[in-house]
Amino acid sequence: MPLDLSPGIAAYLACALLGAAIVRGYTGFGFSAIVLSAAALVTNPLPLIPVLFLAEIAMTALQARAIRGHVDWHRALALLGGAALVLPLAFGTMLSLPADLVRVTVSLVIGAMALLLLTGWTLHRPLGRAGHVGVGMVAGAANAAGVGGLPVAACLGAQPIPPATFRATMVVFLTGIDIMSLPLLAWGGQVTADTFVAALMAAPVLALGLTIGSRRFAAAPPAAFRRLATWLLLALSALGLIRAMT
């Protein structure tokens, strides 16, 4: 198996991938955080991060036609600009950490980002460009742990944004930050032949999950979308905190 995974762990991760792809198709975010939360319970999640970034990019290609008319490009570009400012330093730091510390860091970042919404934090008016650049910088730091989408999800979720725009903007942001992050991971020696083999093996599972999630989004009312997005972050928070304490 690629990445020295045992058959049992590979099967476990395939189930996590399917569930995460369904969530990604429905909400536009949460894919990497879910898989990394699951992986951190059984293995070092760091080698999986470039696999998940490739998966995110591939899933966006499948969703592009459906989301292109809903993207808020002003927000997306400001967020990506902020992320670009901090990504090199963030990845340089993360790649120097011991494996056990990486596992705890991934879990704690997931927990911290999700707890932001647990406080009931909301914005009374939309953020301006500078605010989105700042959020993008936080997301760039978090993406070294593979979860750069969570601070952006918290930010967009706290603003009065239509669900279709939220979802489409999240997808574009995640694709952009992953494209910027992959060369940094390659420079750190984290992208290998096994990375591409694992991504290819995951492709059928991802396509199935994405199709299920996208169909569910098309049939869901806006209130249900907001409710699921909030509970998703809370669930990720719980997973992160439990892993950090064990």
- Is the pLDDT assigned to residue 99 strictly greater than 60? no
Q: What is the DSSP letter of 4?
A: G
Residue 229, pLDDT score:
60
The two most distant CA atoms of the chain are separated, in Å, by: 50
| pLDDT band (50, 70, 90) for residue 177 | very high
From CA 47, how far away is CA 3, in angstroms rounded? 7
Structure tokens at 95: 């790649």
Number of domains in the chain: 1
For the entire predicted model, the pTM comes to 0.81
pLDDT at 68: 87
Q: Which amino acid is at 163?
A: P
Please give the Cα distance from 45 to 86 (Å, whole number). Answer: 22
Task: Specify the residue for token string 């429905």.
Answer: 26
Taking the C-alpha atoms of residue 25 and residue 85, their distance in angstroms, rounded to an integer, is 29
**Which structural domain range is residue 58 located in?**
2-245
Q: Alpha helix locations (H) across 68-192?
A: 73-94, 99-118, 129-143, 149-157, 163-187
Q: What is the pLDDT of residue 219?
A: 67
Mean per-residue pLDDT over the chain, rounded: 83
**Which of 217, 208, 211 minimizes the C-alpha distance to 167?**
217
SS (H, E, C) 44-79: CCCCHHHHHHHHHHHHHHHHHHHHCCCCCHHHHHHH
Which single residue is written with the structure tokens 């879910």? 34
Angle between helix axes 222-245 and 163-187 (nearest 10 degrees) is 30
Q: With bands split at pLDDT 50, 70 and 90, how would you rate the model's confidence at 102?
A: low
Q: Which of 12, 87, 3, 109 is nearest to 51 (CA)?
A: 3
Measured in whole angstroms, how far is the alpha carbon of residue 130 from the centre of its chain? 23
In angstroms, the CA 201 to CA 199 distance is: 5
pLDDT tens, 29-87?
888 888 887 887 788 888 999 999 999 999 988 888 888 899 999 999 999 999 999 99
